[in-house]
Amino acid sequence: MGELDALGKVDPELAEALKKEIIRQRETLEMIPSENFASIDVIRTLGSPLTNKYSEGYPGKRYYGGNEFIDIVENLAIDRAKRLFGVPHANVQPYSGSPANFAIYAALCKPGDTIMGLNLPDGGHLTHGWKTSVTGQFFNSVPYHVKPDGYIDIDEVRTLAGENRPKLIWIGATAYTRELPFEEFAKIADETGAYLIADISHIAGLVAGGAHKSPVPYAHVIMTTTHKTLRGPRGAMIMVTERGMKKDPELAEKIDKTIFPGLQGGPHDNTTAALALALLEASRPEFREYSAQVVRNSKALGDELAKRGFRLVTGGTDNHMLLVDLTKYGHGMGIYAQEALDMAGIVLNKNTIPAEPWTAFYPSGIRLGTPALTTRGMKENEMREIANYIADVVEQINGYKMLADKDLRNAELARFRNEIKQNATVLGTKAKTLALCSRFPLYPEIVL
């Protein structure tokens, strides 16, 4: 790809930033569970001239002319999504996950209706009714929680649903390491008359590859982003199941009308094309093996971290991610671990743990996953190697503190940031991560 050279001639500042980001991706271990590496073919398709077209409406029912080939592209994406997930209806136009979720609310609920979703600090998502989201302000949000062991409290879900009779119940999470209990939630939705909405943004690729139970027999509506384990462009899909059609024969039409003209204008046709390709890639046997390897890697990573004395929330994982409790170092130490690991070339994120003892901004855990590492070709041996890198670096935060007083806290963080840059273990681990990354090249097609 010579595009960066061409860009450098017209906008050297932008080209330099892009080059540095590509180098960063190549030379670090990307372990944020919601991030992945799309194929070079998906990236090239995303940068196609389809970005030039306006296509408001749906295939065969557009408000602009000149959409005969865009219709082919969108129909490909729709048909491939339906086949891959086994659903009768798919809308591939949502711009991203949060607006897609809001579209579902708009199609099924009225302001003030009761909704239920997993509490954000327990691993849920902002758009499932958290108080700072418009979803927690427009609707009467009744959150459910995880138990002390980190598993969803099904008994609480059943009790709350029975008492509050929600219009809509979410099942889905951003920091939950176990298989989602779709069947139990379906029974609760049936008992209370609620719509069950599965947000599988994190696990869509695992579902498509057979490495996680599918929500299709249980949920009425399924929403997923397309850029996480599914390895596509940044976008989203809303799918309606046979179960959803039986509950409301007009459900698919309601969803479509809410996306357009209800909430969005023209779809991003270049994204739709890249999604169509990603769905084709996800239908191949090698993607099924990829999904299985993601889970194997996650389990190997967790097992090795546990051997090094780290407490894993729920004791392990069934999917692509791990949640590590760092309270043995003190409360609120997630930011220390995240920044130390970042200096060592290992990218993950600070995260709340169940019954978080500090704050969401200064949480007591870290969240990490294996999708991007697996895309690079890494397997169990590399996961064990990386687990020891992580353990060695995180041990360096021992002795630092998260202080309640703001000024003292800022001074302590400044001291830490200055010292960690010179820490021999961190610097040594950085060299090891760089060597490991060089064994698994990323985007060799892109010449810098």
pLDDT in tens, 281-331: 999 999 999 999 999 999 999 999 999 999 999 999 999 999 999 999 999
> What is the end-to-end Cα distance of the chain in Å, rounded?
9
Q: Exactly one of 19, 82, 147, 234 is catalytic; which is it?
A: 234
35 is catalytic: no
How buried is 56 (Cβ within 10 angstroms: 0-12 exposed, 13-18 middle, 19+ buried)?
middle
Position 219 scores a pLDDT of: 98
Report d(CA 280, CA 76) in Å as an integer.
Answer: 9
DSSP 249: T
Report d(CA 68, CA 180) in Å as an integer.
Answer: 40
Structure-token match 């009790």, residue found? 159
Q: Exactly one of 53, 62, 167, 228 is catalytic; which is it?
A: 228
122 is catalytic: no
Tokens of 148: 């002390």
54 is catalytic: yes
Position 2 scores a pLDDT of: 64
225 is catalytic: yes
Position 172 scores a pLDDT of: 98
Tell me the domains of the chain and their CATH numbers: 45-282 (3.40.640.10), 286-439 (3.90.1150.10)
**Amino acid found at 313:** V
Q: Exactly one of 56, 113, 248, 380 is catalytic; which is it?
A: 56
pLDDT mean values, one per 10 residues, the chain (448 residues): 79 96 98 98 97 98 98 98 98 98 98 98 96 96 97 98 98 98 98 98 98 98 98 98 98 98 98 98 98 98 98 98 98 98 98 95 98 98 98 98 97 98 98 98 92
**Amino acid found at 10:** V
Q: Exactly one of 19, 27, 54, 151 is catalytic; which is it?
A: 54
Position 6 scores a pLDDT of: 86
Report d(CA 18, CA 291) in Å as an integer.
Answer: 29
Q: Exactly one of 28, 174, 177, 225 is catalytic; which is it?
A: 225
pLDDT tens-digit map of 187-220: 999 999 999 999 999 999 999 999 999 999 999 9
CB 317 within 8 A of CB 177: yes
56 is catalytic: yes
Q: Exactly one of 30, 122, 199, 256 is catalytic; which is it?
A: 199
